[in-house]
Amino acid sequence: MKISMIKELLEADIVCGEENLGNHVYSACGSDMMSDVLAFVKDQAVLLTGLVNSQVIRTAEMMDMVCVVLVRSKLPTPEMIELAKESGIVLLSSKKRMYDACGILYTNGLVGNKLRS
């Protein structure tokens, strides 16, 4: 799924990374606990989270994730925007709640991913 599609489906605003909206994501993960996110290996994934601090973007960067969606209309901190720009991560903000946002992406064909054994 293209990131631009995620933006549309979640009626999200672009915070930064507009130039990378054409990139594809192949898996997704929704969590407010960063070590839960780090337990799953995924390629070109999107992270959905209601957590707002710089470690969200660092976690995404460590995982080589390409997009972060802040749910429940959360606004990113200036540090988050700075870090996302540096690493080319598309940062989106959506009004949807976590459950709904995940459900919408899932039913539109973006599945989760397997636990690394």
Using CA atoms of 67, 42, 2, 79 in order, give the dihedral in degrees to the nearest 10. 10
Contact stretch for other proteins (CB under 8 A) within 19-27, 30-38, 91-99, 100-108: 30-38
Residues in 51-80 that interact with other proteins by CB under 8 A? 51, 53-56, 58-59, 61-64, 79
Sign of CA dihedral 70, 68, 80, 49: positive
CB of 75 to other proteins, least distance (A): 16
Q: Cβ 80 to other proteins, closest distance in Å?
A: 10
Q: Which is nearer to other proteins, 11 or 86 (CB)?
A: 86
Which residues sit at the interface with other proteins, rule CB under 8 A?
Answer: 32-36, 38-39, 41, 49, 51, 53-56, 58-59, 61-64, 79, 116
